[in-house]
Structure 1
Amino acid sequence: MISKEREENRRINNFRYMKNLVLLFAALVVISCTSTPKQDSDKQEERPNIVIIMADDLGYSDIGCYGGEIHTPNLDGLAADGVRFNQFHNAARCCPTRASLLTGKYPHQVGLDRNGQTLSRNAATIAEVLKENGYHTGMAGKWHLSRTKALSNKEDQLKWLSHRKDSSIFAPLESYPANRGFEEHWGVIWGVVDYFDPFSLVHNEEAIKEVPDDFYMTDFVTDKSIEMIDEFKKDDKPFFLYVAHTAPHWPLHALPEDIEKYEGMYDEGWDVLREKRYQGLVEKGIVDPAIAPLAKNESGKLWADCERKEWEANHMETHAAMVDRLDQGVGRLIQKLKETGEYDNTVILFLADNGASPERGYIPGFDRPGHNREGVEIDYDNFEHPGAELTWGYLGVAWAGSINAPFRYWKKESFEGGNCTPFIVHWPNGLKGKENTINQGVGHVIDILPTCLELADAKYPAEVNGLETTPIEGNSILPMLNNEIITTHDTLFWEHEGGKALRIGDWKISSLSKGGWELFNMAKDRTETNNLAEEMPEKVEEMTAIWAKEYQRIFPQQKK
């Protein structure tokens, strides 16, 4: 009897034990299922949004926080609460810089050794990588990484540029941003635009054939950037936003109310402006006069010899107005980030694609229309003041040399005036204690992709678009921001249309397309004013040999 009772009790206890075990297991499953998404969500919230803002043909000392007189309170505010670099470099030209920025490779490695080519499909873009790693991806503005080919008939090309010949395909569709990782793209495929009625304007793959009467390209880029932030914040995913302004690239098109702010400001001319900019750079702490004297304006033009002083001053007024409007857009973007609660955990990077442009004198053709949509002729020279749609002004070499102070040369060249850019990094959550500092470290635009990957906790893929990738060249700048390193690279390489340079440590060699190598010690001569090539021919020989090896490594299909 007792035995039967014990057996029954044992059976009951075993049943209770198993029941409790099942309940415990079920509870653990429920907890696991409910906690995992929260952990993922927390991890996602820790990853910052990333916004890259690029200016086009900006002078090194144009903005206020880099010594300029142009009214840029919003960019200055980002600098005051962030970090400015004074030795950050681009690829010295529009397409090459954009290619390197998005891929982390030298432009030659991704099909952009020169302008107007298609970005290689076996090089993953920032957007392609981040999209696969849980980010929203959007772009507003200038792409210029698709093959831009003119129509065979010149008259047809000019009609196409002025919206009088219908064609909705501006380049191979597979090369558009919408097919290179961007969920949304509002902007232009080609590189030059009429700011009031731009050619090659698209939304993703679809051409935007008409614009409102009050359209202005810089405002459009800002408006669409803000709209995308609103759209992306409908869920908890972080976002990557590439804001690629066309300003202040020619033509000099600006709004009257912005031009009015600068009336008379440049009447003293480019020589005085260059001196003032240099003093501003010194006062802001961007340059040390002990190692960075003001280089000469390589244009060789003196204001005293200028015969069209008022006309020239008007050009600089319009350039300033274009930069001013860009900065206003940055302010609106910042306000939207604050309104959505995203400001503190958004990394904002600001830079330019190259130095100020010396270009002038191009007549209608290829990417420059001769008429507007209504068939009214555009004036390329005989206007009093650039700015309106029916004018087509260029800044020119003397002003370019002036606003690239303190450096020599300009866009396209591999001297510092062509390839050294203002670079601002702003991130309230991640840069506490580093507000309003100047980082002396040496970096390059190829470092932006790996920086974004580190911020997003993402790895570079072994394959993209069904093609095998090759290793990137860039390195993250985060260790440099944290003052753990003073450069992201032992060696940096440049080549564009014959202009070339190489930097190893503090030593740099630079050359114009048809010039000889010049040698500089950048630790003692930041502005490339003291050419040591004749004094140190062995150093020049050593570095040119390394440049040649790098060229063959980076661009093996090109013969010496």
Structure 2
Amino acid sequence: MSITICGLLAYSSFAKEDEGGKPNIIIVLVDDMGYSDLGCYGGEIETPNIDKLAASGIRFTQMYNCARCCPTRASLLTGHYPHQVGMAGMGKNLNMKAATIAEILKLNGYHTGMAGKWHLSLTKARENPDEQLRWLAHQADYGSFSPLENYPVNRGFEEHWGVIWGVVNYFDPFSLVHNENPIKEVGHDFYMTDFITKKSIDLIDQFSKDNDPFFLYVAHNAPHWPLHALPDDIEKYKDTYSEGWDVLRGKRYHRMIELNLINSTTCKLPENSSGKKWDNCLEKEKEVAGMAVHAAMVDRIDHGIGKIIQKLKETGQYDNTVIFILSDNGASYERGYPPGFDRPGFKRDSTEIIYNADHPGAENTWNYLGNAWASAVNTPFRFWKRESYEGGICTPFIVHWPIELKAKKKTINHGVGHVMDILPTCLELAEAEYPSTINGMETVPPEGKSLLPLINRQIAATHDTLFWEHEGGRAVRVGNWKVSALRDSQWELFNLEKDRTESNNLAKKYPKKVTEMNALWDEY
């Protein structure tokens, strides 16, 4: 369905007269979610609350992230490519001279709050592996979890409830803090996703007590491994995936066609990128159980979104709140990591954690989704998290704003945007200027551009050229041409207008195009 959206660029006078001023802004970032996990993107997982937001807002089909957790978060919050702000790899410090959305909006009269995962500070393990395992299990205290100056509360957020590191035991998370203060104990019924929801609701209540707008960053850990979920949620999906990943990929693909998200002519369904066939799987029961937990984790996120929407309505904030929903990368191929660094070997009470358990989901288990399911839930694309093929870097992206989009039902936007465009968009919505200095240092203007012209269909893409690089995986997109490569591999060339799933490598047919795009890469 193609519907022209107008009025966003002229929202401000309407909002000020009828809705009380500048809009609130909520960014919901989920972790390792597959491109087709949500119901509104073709998935079978029950996500009615997110689906309702999509039905009265906009779904994007070509929104890009940066293939991995830290790079995407850095790009989202600063409007830069991750390499420009100190995030060429994982577990680094976000550059202090890169202004965050929170820092800028706070300077412009916004309340700023965050609930959830930070992962933009130096995460350094103890030199002694035994000390690290005791630290992860809350049996030792070695001070701050990373440099305090790069905690969220010192990067523009008035309030932060969440974790500093990236990986958590969902029932008893390491590095859980309120602002700079560690939260050393949690209740017996603690679950990380519910905690993030509760604190988001609390912050909405807190920020709604005056007339100032607010910015809320809801950064979920789920559905990132370990596969941890609540028993009732797992029960809902215990038999859902018994047909395996090949059937799942096919069913999602056909639903996406029915939803007009993709075109069967220009978007062929490639084989599962893992090369694995369900018929050859020797541990079907365990695999089905693992995928059920992944689905349960996504389901619980949606449950929380419903509560956040309800709170926005109760406080009178719903109509003038812009909500963005996206994922930091594609679903995770990872599997087999043993205890160490950010992975505990035992619980707080010294109970051993069972890795690759037959029945995943509980706190004493530690399981991973794996590449076969990752390829299935990233339907229709190839590959997964970390890689710069579409399965690693293309995210669901939903924009919802009742007072401006209420008459635009189920709009699908095929324009090309990037996560670094979110900061400039927030600044335009807030009528804020990018500062020349931050934290006492000169800033560099962001690479990102506002998404509002893209939303208005005034342009087809926010950038003529886009670049990706993470751990050797790389890509360049110029218009509809894209070169992609795995680590230590040659470029593959694709025309995305005719081949959205990167199935037909044209590198040999058009070597000059590859050379031309490689030159752009070298310059980048």
1:106-135 C-alpha deviation (Å, 9 max, x unpaired): 000000011100000000000000000000
Q: Superposition pairs for residues 181-220 of structure 1, below 5 Å? A: 181-220=156-195
Correspondence 1:483 to 2:445: no
Matched, 1:430 2:430: no
**Residue type of the partner of 2:379?**
A
Which of structures 1 and 2 has the bigger CA Rg? 1
Q: Does 1:349 align with 2:295?
A: no
The separation in 1 between residues aligned to 2:15 and 2:72, in whole angstroms, is: 35
Please give the residue correspondences for 1:406-421 in structure 2 after superposition, counting only pairs within 5 Å. 406-421=380-395
| Residue 501 of structure 1 pairs with residue 504 of structure 2 | no
Match 2:423 to one of 439, 449, 453: 449
What residue number does 2:3 align with? none
Residue 520 of structure 1 and its aligned partner are, at CA, apart by: 0.5
Q: How far apart are 1:385 and its partner, in Å?
A: 1.2
Alpha-carbon distance in structure 2 between the residues aligned to 1:516 and 1:75: 39
TM normalised by structure 1 equals 0.90
- Does structure 1 retain, via aligned residues, the 8 Å contact 2:16–2:22? no
Partner of 1:19: none
Query: 1:403 maps to what in 2?
Result: 377
- Write the distance in 2 (CA, Å) between the matches of 1:449 and 1:484: 19
Which of residues 226, 235, 239 in structure 2 aligns to 1:264?
239
Q: Percentage identity across aligned positions?
A: 65
Match of 1:518 among 474, 488, 492: 492
CA contact 1:44–1:237 (8 Å) conserved in 2: no
CA distance in 2, matches of 1:280, 1:310: 26
1:41 touches 1:236 (CA, 8 Å); kept in 2? Answer: no
Q: Secondary structure at the match of 2:433?
A: coil
Hey, what's the Cα distance between the residues in 1 that align with 2:212 and 2:499?
A: 46
Cα deviations across residues 428-485 of structure 1 (Å, max 9, x unaligned)?
1122432211001000000000000000000000000000001100000011111111
Q: Quote the residue 1:541 is aligned against.
A: 515
The question of whether the paired residues in 2 share the 8 Å contact of 1:412 and 1:499 is answered with yes
Cα distance, 1:308 vs structure 2: 0.3
1:313 alignment partner in structure 2? 288
What is the CA RMSD across the aligned residues, in angstroms? 1.3
Aligned ranges 1:2-401 → 2 under 5 Å: 45-381=20-356, 383-401=357-375
Matching residue's letter, 2:184: K
The runs of 5 or more residues in structure 2 that have no matched partner are 1-13
CA contact (8 A) 1:45 1:238 kept: no
Q: Structure 2: how far apart are the matches of 1:463 and 1:158?
A: 40
* Whole-angstrom distance in 2 between the partners of 1:419 and 1:434: 27
Residue identity in the other structure for 2:170: Y
Distance in 2 (CA, whole Å) between partners of 1:319 and 1:162 is 24
1:492 aligned partner: 466
Letter in 1 for 2:400: H
In 1, the alpha carbon distance for the partners of 2:424 and 2:417 equals: 12
Encode CA deviations 1:96-155: one digit per residue, 9 max, x unaligned.
000000000000000001110000000000000000000000000000000000001000
Gaps of 5+ in 1: 1-38, 551-560
* Separation (CA, whole Å) in 2 of partners of 1:403 and 1:41: 42
The alignment partner of 1:60 has SS state of coil
Q: Over residues 521-559 of structure 1, what are the superposed CA-to-partner deviations in whole Å (9 max), with x where a residue is unaligned?
A: 111111100110000000000000011101xxxxxxxxx
Give secondary structure in 2 for the equivalent of 1:131: helix
Matched residue type, 1:391? T
**What is the DSSP-based 3-state SS (H/G/I as helix, E as strand, rest coil) of the residue aligned with 2:365?**
coil
In structure 1, how many angstroms separate the alpha carbons of the residues matched to 2:136 and 2:389? 33
- Read off the aligned partner of 1:524 and give its amino acid letter: K
